[in-house]
Structure 1
Amino acid sequence: MGIFSFIKDAGAKVFGIGKTEAEEATEAANEVAAAKLKLETAAAKNLKETITSLQLQVDDLNIFINDDNATITGAAYNQATKEKVVLVVGNSNGIATVDDQMTVENVEPEAQFHTVVSGDTLGKIAKHYYGNAMKYPVIFEANKPMLTDPDKIYPGQALRIPALD
C-alpha cells in the first residue's frame, strides 16, 4: 500500500462527525463571548443593586458594561445623585470609563472630580480646592454614602468636589 495524503479537516464535513479546527475555534470563541456577556450582565446587576442600596434616586436606571466600559442611563433626581452614580460605577474594579447618559430632574451646578493619589487626605484635597483644609467635611458629605469615614479614601478613587455655596 503506501502513504496516502488527505485534506485533514475535511473528514468532519464529509462524514458529519467531529469538528474542523475552524469550527472548534468558532465554538470556543462563542463560548468565551457568552461567558463574558454573562459576567458583564451580572456586574451591571450588582452595580444597580448597590446604587439602590445607597438610596441614590435614579428612575429607569440601566447599566450596560462592555469590556471595561460602562454606560449609564436613567433620570437622576439631581446633579449630585447623577455624579454619585457615576462614581459608584467608575470606582468599581474593572471599569475604566463611564459613559454618563443620565438626565437630571433638578438641575444644579456640576461638581469637579478629584482622583485620590498616595498621601492625599480630605483635608489636603479641601486645601487644594477651597484654600481651607477645615472644609474637608464638605467633600466628605458630598461623597456620602460611598464614603463612610473621612479617613478611608484610597489612591485611584475618584471623589466629588462640589462648589462652595
Structure 2
Amino acid sequence: MGLFSFIKEAGEKLFGHKEVADAAATGAPNVAELNQKAADAIKTYIEKQNLGLSGLTVSFDGASGKVTLAGLAPSEEAAEKASLAAGNVASVSGVDNNLQYPAGTASQYHDVVSGDTLSAISKKYYGDANKYNVIFEANKPMLSDPNKIYPGQKLRIPAL
C-alpha cells in the first residue's frame, strides 16, 4: 500500500510522545524500549477499531516518527483505515502500510485544513455536499461525529 505522510503534531495522544522524541534525539539507552511502548499503544489503538486485521505487527521509530504496519487485512478499506488510525496519532509523521489484502478499488485521501467540513469535502470530491455521510462512514470508528474533524487529520475518500 505504501507510505502515507501525516502531520506529526496532530492526532490522538496515546503515549509519552515527547519522551520518545527526546530519547531518540539524545540517543538515550532506553530508545528501543520507548519505541516498543509507543508501537504497543498504537497497535492497541488500531485493534480497538475492530477492523478484522490478523497477525498485526506494529513498529515505531521515534526519531523519524514512522510507523510500519504488517499483517493481513480483510479488505483494502480495512488496510486504509488501519493506516489512518496509526497516522492520526500525535508524533506519527508517516505510516508504511505493508498490510496484505484482497484486490479492490483505490480510495483518495484528504488532509483536513482549517474551515473544512465533511459537507465541503464531499462537495469537492463528489460534487454533492449531501454525500458527506459516505466519507463519515468510511472513516468510522476514527470519526465518532461528522462535525468533529480537525486540521491535520487525514481522511479516506472512498470511490463511489
TM-score, normalisation: structure 2: 0.80
Give 2:156's aligned amino acid.
Answer: R
Q: Which residue of 2 aligns with 1:59?
A: 54
> Whose helix proportion is higher, 1 or 2?
1
TM-fit CA distance, 1:58? 1.3
Instruction: Give the one of 112, 131, 134 matched to 1:135.
Output: 131
Q: Answer yes or no: is 1:112 the counterpart of 2:114.
A: no
- Pick 1 or 2: higher relative contact order, CA cutoff 8 A, min separation 6: 2
Separation in structure 1 between the aligned mates of residue 79 and residue 28 of structure 2, nearest angstrom = 31
Separation in structure 1 between the aligned mates of residue 54 and residue 119 of structure 2, nearest angstrom = 34
Give 2:46's aligned amino acid.
Answer: I
Runs of 4+ deviating beyond 3 Å: 31-34
Quote the sequence identity (%).
45
Count of matched residue pairs: 135
Give unmatched runs, 5+ long, in structure 1: 1-28
Query: Which segment drifts farther, 139-148 or 44-53?
Result: 44-53
Separation in structure 2 between the aligned mates of residue 121 and residue 36 of structure 1, nearest angstrom = 39
Instruction: Give the one of 27, 41, 54 matched to 1:46.
Output: 41
Separation in structure 2 between the aligned mates of residue 162 and residue 56 of structure 1, nearest angstrom = 16
TM-score, normalisation: structure 1: 0.77
Q: Which residue of 2 aligns with 1:100?
A: 97
TM-fit CA distance, 1:34? 3.2
Q: Which residue of 1 aligns with 2:147?
A: 151
Give 2:96's aligned amino acid.
Answer: D
Separation in structure 2 between the aligned mates of residue 34 and residue 155 of structure 1, nearest angstrom = 35
Give unmatched runs, 5+ long, in structure 2: 1-23
Separation in structure 2 between the aligned mates of residue 34 and residue 101 of structure 1, nearest angstrom = 29
RMSD (Å) for aligned C-alpha atoms: 1.7
Q: Can you list the C-alpha shifts for 1:66-120, whole angstroms capped at 9, x where unaligned?
A: 121111111111001000000011111111111111110x321121110000000
